[in-house]
Amino acid sequence: MYQPCLATEIIPSATPDEESDWRWQFSNRIKGLSALSKLLRLTPSETGLYRDLISEYRYAVTPYYLSLIDWSDPNDPIRRQCIPDPREITFSLPGSEKDPLAEQIHMPVPGLIHRYPDRVLAMVTNTCATYCRHCNRKRTWKNPEAGNTRDALGHMVDYVASNSHIREVIVSGGDPLTMNPGLLDEFLGSMEAIPHVEVLRIGTRIPVVLPMRITDDLCQMLARHRPLWVNTHFNHPREITPESTKACERLLKVGIPVSNQTVLLKGINDSPEVMRALFCGLEKIMVRPYYLFHCDAVKGTDHFRTDIRKGIEIMERLWGEIGGLCIPNFVVDLPTGGGKAPMMPSYLLNIDRDEAVFRTYEGKIVRYSCPGGADTPP
């Protein structure tokens, strides 16, 4: 059982059973100016700034995720991911936009993004258990929290059914595991019934921010839809707790593979040591590190953006220090819907007909004969 949050003034007391109940956690999320004011001990002059901030970018945090914060550290990595920061409205870098990936213009029906020929992404709700300050869909937060209606979901199903080259449906949001499980079951079933849909994927941060939501019932429902993959979103090794481990284990036990997408965040995980601990920790709980994303140029998140070279430097250290199973692909999602560009340190220095010259991760030069293999003329 996690330690109760120190912010006792704002969270109602609860029994251990209530604390481990996702409904209690969800309905007691910390949100609103008054709670923030107590949490941060805001002065009257700071209160106005935070009022503007949360009216632009809402916040809500589960008591569980809040309990992971070390309040003695103003730069605590959990705190920085969930507590609003004035830089969201006061700091911006050239080129950042509300929707740099041009998702809105790639929506043939509302909420359904079709950017790549063989797959679509369905935004089934705009509700999340905890609002990540680095979220690349902050533009949707102005709308009230709500899941899509059965009708709206039906239009997405119709579009996919009439496009035979779509083989994969990514169910995203918001967080799809916050929606009504009956409706989610229905939606997954309708997509699965389309003959050309081969794979379903769910993108969710629930195992990290509301792990008690991954109940046996929910797992049984998800396990009825196959093949289904779950992609979750751990950004820091401190998020790997007994509770989040158990949530992932439950999914794995019913045969659902769990992989992870991390976002490279300045001051949170932008060091080889933190990334090494995160990815090795994920490997230990059998969650496969899949992508490391460079932080997108999204308005309201610029203070999290690092130099792209920082990610390459981290990847270079990781390749030298840990096994390939722990190493995700580092990618930059290109603006204007240009797709993902994989980024790797380069180890090939030169190649010609007879020889390829490599450098090792330790900087040694290694020569490799006959790089053309059996295609090389004798």
The residues of the shown chain that bind ligand SF4, judged by CB under 6 A, are: 128, 131-132, 135, 137, 173-175, 205
333 counts as catalytic = yes
Q: Which of these is catalytic: 29, 58, 119, 250?
A: 119
**Is the CB of 175 or the CB of 243 nearer to ligand SF4?**
175
Contact 263, 235 (CB under 8 A): yes
Residue of 2, 21, 31, 116 marked catalytic: 116
The DSSP secondary-structure symbol of 333 reads: E
- The torsion angles phi and psi of 290, rounded to 5 degrees, stand at -110, -60
Q: Is 85 among the residues known to form the active site? A: no
Rank residues 137 and 236 by Cβ distance to ligand SF4 and give the closer one: 137
Q: Which of 219, 340, 347, 359 is catalytic?
A: 340
| Minimum separation from the CB atom of position 7 to ligand SF4 (A) | 21
What is the closest distance, in whole angstroms, from the C-beta atom of residue 126 to ligand SF4 in the complex?
8
* Gyration radius of the chain over CA positions: 22
Residues 6+ apart with CB under 8 A from 159: 108, 109, 112, 114, 120
Supply the minimum distance, in Å, between the C-beta of residue 208 and ligand SF4: 8
> How do beta strands 199-203 and 339-343 pair?
unpaired
Catalytic residue (one of 133, 137, 205, 276): 137
Where would I find the H helices in the chain?
A: 16-19, 22-27, 33-40, 44-56, 63-66, 77-82, 87-90, 150-161, 181-192, 206-209, 216-223, 242-253, 272-284, 308-321
Q: How far is the CB of 357 from ligand SF4 (least distance, A)?
A: 42
Active site residue 119: yes
Which of 82, 135, 280, 326 is catalytic? The answer is 135
For this structure, is 31 an active site residue?
A: no
Q: Catalytic: 115?
A: yes
CA proximity to 188, closest of 206, 166, 163, 169? 169
- Residue 248 appears among annotated catalytic residues: no
Burial pattern 278-315, b for ≥16 Cβ within 10 A else e, equals: bbbbbbebebebbbbbbbbbbbbbbbbbbeeebbebbb
288: annotated active-site residue = no
Q: Which is nearer to ligand SF4, 178 or 306 (CB)?
A: 178
State the DSSP string of 267-329: TTT-SHHHHHHHHHHHHHTT-EEEEEEEPP-BTT-GGG---HHHHHHHHHHHHHHS-GGG-PE
The amino acid at residue 259 is: S
In the complex, the smallest distance separating the C-beta of residue 219 from ligand SF4, rounded to whole angstroms, is: 19
Is 296 annotated in the active site? yes
144: Cβ contacts below 8 Å, ≥ 6 apart: none
Active-site residue 116, yes or no?
yes
Shortest Å distance, C-beta 205 to ligand SF4? 4
| Catalytic-labelled residue, pool 5, 82, 128, 295 | 128
Measured distance CA(122)–CA(172) in Å, rounded: 6
**Minimum separation from the CB atom of position 5 to ligand SF4 (A):** 20
Q: Is 128 a catalytic residue?
A: yes
Q: Could you list the active site residues? A: 115-116, 119, 128, 132, 135, 137, 296, 333, 340
